[in-house]
Each structure stands twice: as C-alpha cells, then as structure tokens.
Amino acid sequence: MSSDAPSYPVRPFTDEEAPAFAAQLDFGFHENPPQEAHDLWQGLLPRERSVAAFDGDELVSTGGDFPFELTVPGGVTVPAGGVTMITVKATHRRRGILTAMMRHQMHGWHERGDAPVGILLASEPAIYGRFGYALGVQHLSLTVPRGDNGLSAVAGSDKFRMRMVDPLEGYERCQEVVEANRLGRPGMMPRVGDGWRDAALADWEFARDGAGPLRCVLAEDADGTTVGFARYRVKEGYNNPARPECKVRVKDVYGRDLASYVAMWRFLCDLDLTSEVQAEVPADDPLTFLLADFRQAVPRLQDMLYVRIVDVDRALAARRYATAVDVVFELSDPFCPWNTGRWRLRGDADGAECSRTTDPADLVLGPRELGAAYLGGFSLGALGRAGRIEELRAGALAQASRAFVSDVAPFVPFGF
C-alpha cells in the first residue's frame, strides 16, 4: 500500500499502544469518556482493521472501520466498512497523515475484497470530500409538541398494550422488531453480538447531555408479541413551576407496521410532565403526513451518512434498480485508481452486473456522484442539474436517475 506520509508509518495499533490510542481519541474529540467506553469500542473494532500513524514511537493519529452489512435498494445487502475514530494529533496536522490513513484503509478494502463500499458519519464533512465520500443519507430532525399536536391515529394503533421494561431485558425483543424493518430500508445495518448490544444500551453519564437514564417501552399485541418499541431519555425541566417542560429524547423508535409505529409515537407524545419529543427519523417518515400541523414539529433535514464507492463493479452489481438500466459511464478516480475507466451497468429489480467496457460513454462522473446516489436518497438527475454529471448521450441521465432512485428513503439506525 502506498503512503502519502512516509515518515509517519501507518499500521494497526497493538495492545501495548491501546492506552495511547484512547488518549488521542479523547484529545481529538475533546471528550473524557470512562475507561469502560474505550474498552467497549476498542473491543468492537477488529484490531486488524484499526489504523494509526506514528512519529517514531509516538502515536499521532487514530482510525479504523467496522465490518457492516449495509442494506441497499432492493432489500439486499453489501459488505461495507464503517469508518470510525478518525483523529490526527493537533501538532501533526497538514502533514499528509489523514490522506495516508484513508488510502491505507481503502486500498486494504480493495486488496482484501471485503468492503466495496465505505461509509462514515462526518464530524467535518468537507474533510472527506477530497477522498471521494459524498452525502448519501439525510435524517429528518423533529421536535414534536406534546398533547394536542394533531398526531392522527390509524387503524389498529390503539389496540396495543404498552409495557415498560429494563432496556437490557427487552433488547432481544426490540432487535426482532428492528430486524423486521432492516431489509426494507436502505442504510440499515444489523447489530451483531454482545458488544453491539452493549453499545446500543450504553448509558454513560458523559453522553446523556443532562438527560436521565435510558428507558424502554414495548408495544405488545393480544398474544404478547412485541410489535414496537421505543428507547428514550427525559431531560428534566422544572424551571416553570406552573408548567413542567421536560423533554423526551428518543434514541430508537420502531414498529413492525404503521399501526404499531404510530402507537409508539402516541405514547411518547403523551408522557406526563413533558413538553416535547425530540427524534431523528427517515426523511419520508409517516409523521410527515400524520401530523395535522407538521410545521409545529420544526422539521429540519440534517446530513447523516457519507458514502464512498470503493469497488465500483461490486458495489453497483450488489444493489437493485427501480427500472431497467443499461448505461455506460466514464469514471475518474485518482484516489482509487482501479475504478478509473469506462463501466457498463445493466440492471433492474431482479439483479445487476457492472463490468469494464470500451464502448462510448453515456455519462461522465466521479466517485462522489455515485456515492451520493448509491442508497437512493439523492437522484443522479439532481446531480446532473447541479453540473456534477456530464451527459454524452441524450436521455441517459434520466434513465439512470430513474433506475437509481429508491422508493424508500435511506436511514442509518445507529451511530458508530
């Protein structure tokens, strides 16, 4: 693997270097988590997929990636590298260290063949664009007023029994509900193993931002089957003695169907002594249509997942397409040069293939454009209208745009 910072070798960190790795993370993110938090996240990160740069014996950067199975359009999955823990020591910025780490990571995915797609949650999005990452998923941030907020009931939403449980006790039942949703929405990923369970239920004081402990409520049908759940915290607000204004902060809310999902929301919006419910939901969430006055929920789109196509042939062949597509695109990708060239994509709702070709190109674009459209949350047509894609054959952009779109907006179920 090549390196842009040869005087700062890049490699996985060792057990002996784990404390230095944790200390640099704290310094880089200006946080002070308990040691158990470091133990959990370092335990989740396969050591061979960690990455750090060194100035002599001094660890000066951190990073790594989690191996995920990412849901893509068509209800299928693709292996993805979930980039995480990226920092560079403040004394060593602008020396090519981050570029060397990102190249080490992507070239490793390509050489091992284990992650044709890279994904990350960007603390500073502008940093990652130069490595080919593009915004692929937006979430809708809502602040729903409690009480008479006009949240409509739907058929069957009032028939469930609500039961409070310890979050750990209810975890497996909650996961069954998540699993029932996972293949139906691009961007979803499973939590596999006890480590990811512990991450989902982590309740460290430093991460609560003043809110209370994690709560869990289940919705059960007449047979006792869990059909929905919500995990949430409440931040107390008793400054106004005439009107308590505690705030409900939702961590997860799911239902097996519309009725159970609406039942969870009606529960959250009617908790005593609270004034509002704060949550992030998919951009096409049913609440968009079920709230009588959607404006009162103060809707705000925010960037979430950034996507990088690492192996274009494998990535594009892994997903399905809304309409039949047969298009040749020319790609320039200096950071992942194996992608550079012309590729023919043929696909539909049943499958796809993507292979090199010498045929004339229909579209000219880069890895960022493919990454933005990959999960179906942004259209190639919109990118073309922004001047990001060049159309060489009339009608090719519209055809490709229709094929890439997803009928269901992508959503990222948890942070990493």
Ligand-binding site membership of 69 (annotated): no
Ligand-binding site membership of 323 (annotated): no
Residue (of 52, 64, 66, 57) closest to 5 by Cα position:
52
C-alpha–C-alpha distance, residues 387 and 407, integer Å: 24
Neighbours of 357 (CB within 10 A): 15
Axis crossing angle, helix 171-182 with helix 194-201, rounded to the nearest 10: 100
Ligand-binding site membership of 98 (annotated): yes
Helix (H) or strand (E) holding 261: helix 258-268
- Which of 8, 128, 261, 411 does the annotation list as catalytic? 128
Task: Let me know if 238 is a catalytic residue.
Answer: no
| Residue-by-residue DSSP string for 170-195 | THHHHHHHHHHHHTTSTT-----SHH
pLDDT the model gives residue 53 = 98
Domain boundaries, the chain: 10-115, 151-290, 311-404
Write out residues in the chain with pLDDT < 50, as ranges: 1-3
Q: Fold identical between 151-290 and 311-404?
A: no
Ligand-binding site membership of 87 (annotated): yes
Per the structure block, which two tokens stand in for 216?
Answer: 């869990």
| HSE-up of residue 20 (Cα within 13 Å, Cβ side) | 18
C-alpha–C-alpha distance, residues 297 and 174, integer Å: 26
For domain 151-290, give the CATH number.
3.40.630.30
Task: Let me know if 8 is a catalytic residue.
Answer: no
pLDDT the model gives residue 2 = 42
| HSE-up of residue 244 (Cα within 13 Å, Cβ side) | 10
Ligand-binding site membership of 94 (annotated): yes
Angle (CA) 109-352-356 rounded to 5° is 65
pLDDT the model gives residue 1 = 44
Residue (of 331, 415, 411, 340) closest to 377 by Cα position:
411
CA distances from 64 to 4, 46, 98, 276 (A): 18, 8, 12, 37
pLDDT the model gives residue 243 = 83
- The CATH fold of domain 10-115: Aminopeptidase (3.40.630)
Ligand-binding site membership of 88 (annotated): yes
pLDDT the model gives residue 6 = 64
pLDDT the model gives residue 137 = 98
Ligand-binding site membership of 99 (annotated): yes
Ligand-binding site membership of 86 (annotated): yes
- The CATH fold of domain 311-404: Nonspecific Lipid-transfer Protein; Chain A (3.30.1050)
